[in-house]
Amino acid sequence: MSSPGLRERKKLETHRTLSTVAVRLVGERGLDHVTVEDIAAEAGVSARTFFNYFASKEDAVVIAHADRAERSRRLIDRLAELPPELSTLEAVVAAAREDLAEIDENRDEWLTRIRIIKENPGLTLRALSLSTDVVEPAIAAVARRSGTDQAKDLFPSLLFSAVGAAINASLMLWRDLGGSRPLLDLVDEAVAALAAGLADPR
């Protein structure tokens, strides 16, 4: 897949700048005390430019990357390319590691974003609504990897949901720990527990 051109890279960079500024300002002041104009001024662009990238300040907090759909396609491509000796569970987690590592690398931004979303239930609903368009393609990719039929078999959607729950639980613990443990370590621990049948700790 070809790399984005200069214009596209600039658009991605502007989106990232606006998003990180939004997260920082809202983290400092609270959602109700930050305006689109505040975010745009801090990022060095006009409010009109802001609306070229986001429909609202809420979206600027929730949507970390402009190329969400492309990132989902790359994850699906990585899943298809992984060695066949990996189990489907192992392959799905391996395909997601690049994106999870990026969260670790931008720890303060993501800790703040997760806190803001938790404090504002409307943002939780927005984040969920944004994820719906990537669910079906991802489940279809799991079905292809596992040789199952998503229309007839429970496995693809169940595995996708289980991995999503493991990642979400890891993110919540990572947040509670203030990012003191690597997110990837927590995800590996969660997935290992799933693979072992989630035995009762007692």
CATH number at residue 97: 1.10.357.10
Q: Give 98-155 pLDDT, tens digit per residue.
A: 889 999 999 999 999 999 998 888 888 888 777 777 888 899 999 999 999 989 999 9
Are 125 and 180 found together in one domain? Answer: yes
Choose the final residue of a domain: 66, 81, 113: 66
pLDDT band at 64 (very low <50, low <70, confident <90, very high): confident
User: 176-180, 182-186, 197-201: which range is least confident on average?
Assistant: 197-201
Global model pTM greater than 0.85:
no
If asked whether residues 53 and 86 sit together in one domain, one would say no
Give the largest CA-CA distance in the chain: 58
In terms of domains, do 45 and 125 share one?
no
Domain boundary among 18, 42, 66: 66
**Residue 42 sits in the same domain as residue 129:** no
Q: Are residues 123 and 147 in the same domain?
A: yes
Distance (Å, whole) CA 34 – CA 91: 41
Q: Which residue has the higher pLDDT, 4 or 164?
A: 164
Residues 119 and 201 in one domain: yes
Number of domains in the chain: 2
Judgement on whether residues 175 and 202 belong to the same structural domain of the protein: yes
Question: Range of 120's domain?
Answer: 67-202
What CATH code is carried by the domain that includes residue 12? 1.10.10.60
C-alpha triplet 158, 161, 165: angle, nearest 5°: 135
- Residue ranges of alpha helices (H) inside the chain are 6-29, 36-43, 47-53, 57-62, 68-81, 88-105, 107-119, 121-146, 155-176, 183-195
Cα–Cα distance measured from residue 128 to residue 121, given in angstroms and rounded to the nearest whole number: 11
Are 62 and 79 members of one domain?
no
Are residues 110 and 43 part of one domain?
A: no
- 29 and 111 housed in the same domain: no
